[in-house]
Amino acid sequence: MNALTSQPVLFPVRRISTPALRRALIAGARRVIADRDVLNRINVFPVADGDTGNNMAFTLGTVLAGALSRRAVHAGELLRQVGADAIDGARGNSGAILAQFLQGMSEAVAAVPVLDTANLSRAVRRGADAARAALSEPREGTILSVIHAFAEALQHGHGQRDMAGWIHHALLRAREALAETPKQLAVLQKAGVVDAGAQGFVDLIEGVVEFIQQRRGADAWPSALGVADLDDLADDEAAVAHRDACGDADHRWCSECLILAESIDRDALRAQVAALAASSVVIAGSPTRVRVHAHVSDPQALFEVCACFGVIEACKADDMYAQQRAVAAGTAVAIVTDSAADLPLALIEQLHIHVVPLRINFGDRDYLDKVSLSPAEFYRKLRNADVLPRTSQPPPGDFRRQFEFLLAHHPRLIYVGLSRAVSGTLQSAESAAARLDADRTTVFDTANAAGGQALLAIAAAELALAGADTPTILGALERLRPLTHTFALARDISHAVRGGRVPAWAKPLAQWLGLTPIAQVSAAGKLRVVSALLGSRRAPTRFARYVAKRVDHSQRWRLVVGHCDSPADGAALRDALARLLDCESAWLVETGPAVGAHAGPGALVVSLQPFSTRCS
């Protein structure tokens, strides 16, 4: 049977019941999720970041776990729940468009108990219009074109008595529209692929139709992915196609949030987002729940605009250039850490290290560490804040999204995480790994933080780039962990007292004696006060001598020196250590909120790791 021309023989069905609709949508969602690796591979538009499959799978996974996991009273109620869950769980450009399509369908059917060809056609047309309206700059040759073709085919044929044959005919038209997408977008034609989001939509409809076929005892129709030439694309041609689809370097952050309010003016919201000169803008949702997706240079500017329209939740910002590097790197093992690691910025890109941001809260505002709030901005807020900022671990969903993307492009990954003894970050990563693929994902407790965690992540990334496998990398990390030392000098312990890390009685005592406390990360991964300097005069140099006395001078070292809004003191500490020790590398970084929220401005942190034994 020719999939594009033949009509299967079915018994006429004029309506679809709510239970059947639910099971058909489950089949469609599962079809997309099963095909996500293919969708990731052909993702070159609007940005070649290789995550369209993951984003559509995550969006539909939210619907599967929500509305489609329980019975509904009638079709209108089912689609209302599906639309709401899709908006809440939407990820990425295609995920947000698909969510708006489903939300639009739900608005069209309202309280309809059972779907017939007329009201289903009306719902799909409403969904198609809503999806197109959600984009600031709709483009042909994308998922929008295929949704439109599907809606048009349903509308022209809704007088048919047989719903199964009617939907099948519309599926054939959607496949034709999918095959035309490379003619509409040059980047697709150059890469030899169809649009990934459009393919995902066809997968969804094919899953629905396949369910109807199987339910009625007919053979499933073959799929037409339109990507037969993908494996024949030369590596250098693929790289060129990816570079051509990178988009504007000023819009590297794929940013999203969910806005909740009693009434959201989407036109006003769209105008304010447009004023940010964002690209790939999708504003999807209902009057009370809106998902905003945009590619921007400054995620926090987008979140600030969205906060003016209601309460914002589920903020995220993915570095699309880091994702593109991950696709191009081709290493067997991907290395992930979190933003508590004080990594030199140049090494993040050079070594293909992926960073999951911690969360920072100032009163009623939340920020993504080192993404929507830089360390410099954090310390400016800290100096003027009426309330002490709080840091919290990323939710498991943040790790899951990062892990899912990386596992689509690498056989394995290792997360090099913040000490379990001081944060729940490691547990969040373990929860995400358990829900994905525990056999391919390893969570490593550094029993360290700041520069110490960074040094271990650097060691892992260097080995991964050299082609080492997971056991080799883990073996090196196990050897280096007890040899990696972190010391901290706190100029003002008032922040640690306010945060409960240091008892209240210690502050007046330290002030009376003129002491500048020194802390060290213990073998158990906890920061403990171990000594103090008398007074603060020439503190960086004296701190350097204290550290140098406690390490092996016959060993060559790597150093990460961190400062909390005190670059001159940080440079003085680094230079003093470089004179006292044999240093292979000595990086100076600005220590982030994971330490700064408790140590306060002026604090200094130094981490050391032996260099000669790194790969032994």
What is the pLDDT at residue 15?
78
Which of 65-79, 179-193, 551-565 is predicted with the least confidence, judged by mean pLDDT?
65-79
Give yes or no for residue 607 having a pLDDT over 90: yes
CB atoms within 10 A of CB 265: 13
pLDDT exceeding 70 applies to what percent of the chain?
A: 87
Measure Cα distances from 375 to 78, 103, 494, 564, 596 in Å: 45, 39, 19, 8, 9
Tokens (6 digits) for 380: 């400016």
Higher-confidence residue of 475 and 385: namely: 475
Provide the 3-class DSSP secondary structure of residue 263.
coil
Which of 47-61, 79-93, 228-242, 287-301 is predicted with the least confidence, judged by mean pLDDT?
228-242
- Residues 306 and 312: beta-carbon distance below 8 Å: yes
Q: What is the 3-state secondary structure (H, E, C) of 65-109?
A: HCHHHCCCCCHHHHHHHHHHHHHHHCCHHHHHHHHHHHHHHHHHH
| Residue 30 confidence class, pLDDT cut points 50, 70, 90 | very high
Q: Which domains does the chain have, with CATH numbers?
A: 15-238 (1.25.40.340), 485-610 (3.30.1180.10)
- For range 544-571, the mean pLDDT: 95
DSSP state of 223: P
| Residue whose C-alpha is closest to residue 398's, from 565, 202, 498, 256 | 256
Backbone angles phi, psi at 240, to 5 degrees: -65, -45
State the pTM of this model.
0.69
What is the pLDDT at residue 66?
85
The string of pLDDT tens digits covering residues 347-357 is: 998 999 999 99
Provide CB contacts within 8 A for 360, sequence distance 6+: 366, 367, 368, 369, 373, 378, 389, 390, 391, 392, 593, 597
Q: Name residue, tokens 């794929």.
A: 254
- For range 202-222, the mean pLDDT: 72
The string of pLDDT tens digits covering residues 490-518 is: 876 565 555 555 555 455 555 544 578 88
Q: Could you give the CA distance from residue 520 to residue 115 in angstroms, rounded to a whole number?
A: 66
What is the pLDDT at residue 506?
53
| Residue 534 confidence class, pLDDT cut points 50, 70, 90 | confident
What is the pLDDT at residue 496?
56
The angle at the Cα of 533, spanning 527 to 534, to the nearest 5 degrees, equals 145
Give yes or no for residue 224 having a pLDDT over 50: no
What is the pLDDT at residue 362?
82
What is the pLDDT at residue 326?
73
| Residue whose C-alpha is closest to residue 418's, from 564, 601, 611, 594 | 594
- Residues 438 and 424: beta-carbon distance below 8 Å: no
Q: Could you give the CA distance from residue 295 to residue 54 in angstroms, rounded to a whole number?
A: 18
Query: What is the DSSP pairing of strand 582-590 with strand 556-563?
Result: parallel
| Residue 69 confidence class, pLDDT cut points 50, 70, 90 | confident
Residue 485: HSE in the Cβ half-sphere, 13 Å Cα cutoff? 15
Q: Could you give the CA distance from residue 212 to residue 221 in angstroms, rounded to a whole number?
A: 11
Query: What is the DSSP pairing of strand 333-338 with strand 412-417?
Result: parallel
Q: Could you give the CA distance from residue 400 to residue 432 in angstroms, rounded to a whole number?
A: 5
- For range 337-358, the mean pLDDT: 93
Tokens (6 digits) for 162: 């047989």
The string of pLDDT tens digits covering residues 90-108 is: 888 899 999 999 999 999 9
The string of pLDDT tens digits covering residues 257-298 is: 999 999 999 999 999 998 998 888 999 988 999 999 999 989
362 forms bridges with which residues in the sheet?
365
| Residue 343 confidence class, pLDDT cut points 50, 70, 90 | very high
What is the pLDDT at residue 466?
94
Q: Could you give the CA distance from residue 603 to residue 32 in angstroms, rounded to a whole number?
A: 50
Amino acid at 481: R
Q: What is the 3-state secondary structure (H, E, C) of 519-562?
A: EEECCCCCEEEEEEEECCCCHHHHHHHHHHCCCCCCCEEEEEEE
- For range 352-366, the mean pLDDT: 87
Higher-confidence residue of 502 and 146: namely: 146
The string of pLDDT tens digits covering residues 410-458 is: 999 999 999 999 888 999 899 889 888 889 999 999 999 999 999 999 9
Q: Could you give the CA distance from residue 461 to residue 474 in angstroms, rounded to a whole number?
A: 11
